[in-house]
Amino acid sequence: MVLCVCANMQLSSQGTAHDEIDFEFLGNVTGEPYTLHTNVFAKGQGQREQQFRLWFDPTKAFHTYSIIWNPQHVIFAVDGTAIRDFKNHEARGVSFPKSQPMRLYASLWNADDWATQGGRVKTDWSKAPFVASFRNFNADACVMSGGAQRCPAGTMEASAAGGSGSWWNQELSGMGYRRMRWVQRKFMIYNYCTDPKRVAQGVPAECKLR
Ligand SMILES: *[C@@H]1O[C@H](CO)[C@@H](O)[C@H](O)[C@H]1NC(C)=O
């Protein structure tokens, strides 16, 4: 049986020079592993894909996929383990999604032109309808209303006071960082920073920075 629909969870802004933070599940032939695809767009510039194998079958049970998005980091985590930390390197000329509000979208769509083994595996429509299920959705975020941003109580205060109790100034601890590097060594299957096709046009600046 061919199951090649992609479920995704993304934060995205409106318009052309849009910001977007993606978590996508690229389906596969039954029995073959799903790919967890991540990407970060800022001011319309994307092409910052990193892909991972999961250490479990995502179709068998619910797991927790989180995005911690604050002014300094976009951290992707699976069951509480960070797998990617896209840092704000604006000072070095790297665009970072920070100036536009985003909405959260969760959907299921046909991407068999590229996602499923590079488009070689096609959707078997006789298996429709396809289902993606989500549960225990939680959002703790600043909300835009009438052009102003309103943050949950304590978010900015904790930050101003140098506290680290809030996602607003959350970052990886030394331990969290080492754990992420370990997961990347074991489970990352694609990294735009080391893709020969990308690197041939110049190594993206953020790939040379820590
Ligand atoms: C699907 O399975 C093949 C074979 O195991 C693997 O190479 C590929 O990365 C998997 N994922 C996708 C999205 O094609």
Amino acid 182: pLDDT: 98
Tell me how many degrees the CA angle 6-67-119 measures, rounded to the nearest 5: 20
**pTM of this prediction?**
0.91
Does position 160 have pLDDT exceeding 70, yes or no?
A: no
Does position 193 have pLDDT exceeding 90, yes or no?
A: yes
CA of residue 182 to ligand 1 center, whole Å: 22
**Whose alpha carbon is nearest atom 8 of ligand 1?**
117
CA 109/CA 91 separation, integer angstroms: 36
Which residues are catalytic, by number?
Answer: 20, 24
- Amino acid letter, residue 97: P
pLDDT tens digit sequence for 136-156: 988 888 888 888 888 888 887
Can you read off the two tokens belonging to residue 91?
């000072």
Least reliable range by pLDDT among 82-96, 126-140, 142-156, 177-191: 142-156
| Ligand 1 atom closest to the CA of 37, numbered from 1 | 13
Average pLDDT over residues 165-169: 82
CA 184/CA 189 separation, integer angstroms: 8
For 165, list phi and psi in degrees, rounded to 5: -75, -10
Q: Of 112, 116, 117, 188, which is best to mutate to test ligand 1, by the most ligand atoms within 8 angstroms of its C-beta?
A: 117
**Whose alpha carbon is nearest atom 7 of ligand 1?**
117
**Whose alpha carbon is nearest atom 12 of ligand 1?**
117
Domains (range + CATH), the chain = 2-140+171-208 (2.60.120.200)
CA 26/CA 155 separation, integer angstroms: 34
